[in-house]
Amino acid sequence: MNDASKFTAIALSVILFWSGQLVAQADQAPGSNESTKSTAPSAVPHDSPSEQPESIEYRQLQKRLAQGWNTWDVNSVTTYVLLPAGLAIHVGLEHNATSWGNHFLPDALIGRLTPGSEQVIPGPHTWDGSYTEARLSWKGHTWELQSAHAGKDLVLLARPLTSTSFLPPTIVFSVNYLWNLPGIVRRDAGHFLAQGPSTAISVYCTCKDDRSGVPHRNLPITGPYFAVDFREPVGISTGGRRTLAEIEAIIDRQQKLYRGSITAAGESGSILDAIETTIGWDTIFDPEDRRVISPVSRVWCVQWGGWVLFDWDTFFAATMAGIADKDVAYANTIEILREETPQGFVPNYARAGGWKSFDRSEPPVGAITVLGLYKRFHDRWFLEDTFKPLLRWNRWWVRHRDIQGYLTWGSDGENLPRDPGDRSIGTRLGAILESGLDNSPMYDDAVYDPETHILEFADVGLMSLYIADCDALASIADTLGRGEAASELRDRSSRYRAKLATLWNDDAGIYLNKDLHTGKFSTHLSPTNFYPLLAHVATPEQARIMIERHLLNPDEFWGQWVIPSVARNDPAFHDQDYWRGRIWGPMNYLIYLGLRNYDDGEARRQFAQKSFDLFLKEWKEQGHVHENYNAISGSGDDVPNSDRFYHWGALLGYVEYLEQGEGKN
């Protein structure tokens, strides 16, 4: 989603939602009845989404996650927080040179693009924060910051690297309690004492205790802090005083443990390192709902008021976390399902303050995510927690997004609450935003019906994802002994399989979207035209034709960098603007899953390797994990609307992990 689209899509406060004003209106607002919105059978069950998944097992899981020292604060990767107390150690820098502009850097984010902002090259970040490493540059100074666990304690090590100024910068360590949590911090002889309701924690610095503080009195910090000329390494420790040598030894030990785990993974080690580091830095604590989540990036979250979860983005984060951290994977899956709206769908977005997109959803990839995680970890309670919201969401598509037996996108402007300043709600733009492909040329000519609230456009990608959702959810229902639901889901899968088959075009040799307003097939080709492979709808012969004539065709989708979000011979390809030609990790991932359903190992292997090569290009050079990449140059840095640390970019590496046998050598 592009910045402009997402920022225009804000609903009113969730206060209205919980006031009960919405529940009675669900599916009863004018224009929302099935006869006008859908040709689907009226017998599709509708149950209330009042039950939210929160079993004892899940409460225990969140309690396990929200413990100990980690980079929990969304506002800075140089703030280290102890949960559940909320005690924070902030690392800042004052540059001291005579110049205009800001002299003090109180926090740091990866990929911030504002002029004069800091640059952060993220290093390793373990799932639990037991070891982190980052290199920062700002105002001519470059330094390294490492952290490690020493039992329940934290140690920090800051090393100056290079400087273009003859004046040394000042490194500053301040301590306070976040999120309005109770606690007092005072400075004692050479250390800070943080006193919370139940625990007292001491924080020590290897720097000299300069009580006069004459050189460093004008810092914009409230509360106690350590400040020292940053000419040599400086260490911080909690729980007990440690020398610089002792801190360095702890850092070295934890670093070796992390590197050892990567080395032990063999060929998949570099992929595991990239995914663990990406999800590690993007995992935060949400103090509103007291939960651990992994939003797309910290930059997005700060701009959205504290946190934001997007529908399919969060499911993909859960999938990647499943390589090694079951709790993080489960938490992200369940938390995005807990954002379900009164109408019974997972919203396009949910954000700080309880606001979410009450008018639209996003691509249905939840059930394939849940089933994949269950096959890896085999926890029945996880299926129990997720099944009901997934089933409600599956049923919602049929009731609200079916036209002439096809599925398409929409935006229900009558749903409340709605932001009067959001011009996309109940419009053609809002319907396109539901696709997640905000400015895709596929929808340039699609007609929006303001009465049915949907695009008159039979979408191959949506129908394929929905069929895969039905099949995965039916398998989950079988496991849970929900035979009636399994039959219901398989019936829907069969019905839409038959309808999707009508979108196969012999002349084109691929499934084509259809303009239901004109009755004509769309000539725009996108990776979504390959999604019938994921749904296992294509026959082996159709799959062969699609792969040979289109996927491996350098005039359309093949090349050094794959796979562009619109065919290379499409006029929109050269825009290289968001979904108009750029490469996106989720598209590569979904196509790769489709290729695994058919016997074309060589094409699949090349596709996985090319995806990984694209990811490695800027990962190795700058530690960037891009929201999207240029399909001509392979760069993600060429445009401002490709976030530098957006976790789904790591899906480009995840497909190679799968190709290697899910990390098994």
467-481 per-position pLDDT tens digit: 999 999 999 999 999
Residue 248: what are its φ and ψ, rounded to 5°?
Answer: -60, -35
Q: Which of 394, 570, 417 is nearest to 482 (CA)?
A: 394
Residue 308: what are its φ and ψ, rounded to 5°?
Answer: -150, 135
Mean pLDDT of all residues in 27-56: 55
Q: Which of 120, 116, 118, 155 is nearest to 135 (CA)?
A: 120
398-430 per-position pLDDT tens digit: 999 999 999 999 999 999 888 665 789 999 999
pLDDT confidence tier of residue 209, bands split at 50, 70 and 90? low
pLDDT confidence tier of residue 663, bands split at 50, 70 and 90? low
Q: Which of 220, 246, 264 is the last residue of a domain?
A: 264
Q: Which of 463, 470, 450, 471 is nearest to 514 (CA)?
A: 463
Q: Residue 27: what pLDDT?
A: 36
Rounded to a whole number of angstroms, the distance between the first and last alpha carbons of the chain is 37
Q: What is the 3-state secondary structure (H, E, C) of 424-454?
A: CCCCHHHHHHHCCCCCCHHHCCCCEECCCCE
Query: How many helices and strands (H and E) does the chain possess?
Result: 18, 28
pLDDT confidence tier of residue 278, bands split at 50, 70 and 90? very high
Q: Which of 552, 546, 542 is nearest to 530 (CA)?
A: 546
Q: Residue 600: what pLDDT?
A: 77
Give a yes or no: residue 172 inside a domain: yes
Give a yes or no: residue 85 inside a domain: yes
Q: Which of 94, 68, 244 is nearest to 156 (CA)?
A: 244
CATH number at residue 150: 2.70.98
Q: Residue 420: what pLDDT?
A: 64
Name the burial class of residue 279, with classes exposed (0-12), middle (13-18) and buried (19+) by CB atoms within 10 angstroms of its CB: buried
- Total domain count, the chain: 2
Give a yes or no: residue 408 inside a domain: no
Give a yes or no: residue 465 inside a domain: no
79-120 per-position pLDDT tens digit: 999 999 999 999 999 998 876 667 899 999 999 999 999 999
Residue 662: both structure tokens together: 């899910």
310-333 per-position pLDDT tens digit: 999 999 999 999 999 999 999 999
pLDDT confidence tier of residue 589, bands split at 50, 70 and 90? very high
Q: Residue 164: what pLDDT?
A: 86
Give a yes or no: residue 260 inside a domain: yes
Q: Residue 37: what pLDDT?
A: 46
Percent of the chain predicted with pLDDT > 90:
83
Q: Within a 10 A sphere around the Cβ of 101, how many other Cβ atoms?
A: 9
pLDDT over 70 (residue 42): no
Q: Which of 233, 264, 295 is the last residue of a domain?
A: 264
Range of the domain at 183: 71-264
pLDDT confidence tier of residue 215, bands split at 50, 70 and 90? low
Q: What is the 3-state secondary structure (H, E, C) of 55-117?
A: CHHHHHHHHHHCCEEECCCCCCCCEEEEECCCEEEEEEEECCCCCCCCCEECCCCCCCCCCCC
522-544 per-position pLDDT tens digit: 999 999 999 999 999 999 999 99
- Residues 241 and 227: their CA atoms lie apart, in Å, by 17
Give a yes or no: residue 103 inside a domain: yes
Give a yes or no: residue 452 inside a domain: no
Give a yes or no: residue 545 inside a domain: yes
Percent of the chain predicted with pLDDT > 70:
90
- Residues 74 and 107: their CA atoms lie apart, in Å, by 10
- Residues 184 and 197: their CA atoms lie apart, in Å, by 9
Q: Residue 423: what pLDDT?
A: 83
pLDDT over 70 (residue 644): yes
Q: Which of 215, 245, 264 is the last residue of a domain?
A: 264
pLDDT confidence tier of residue 78, bands split at 50, 70 and 90? very high
Alpha carbon of residue 214 to chain centroid: 45
State the chain's mean pLDDT as an integer. Answer: 91
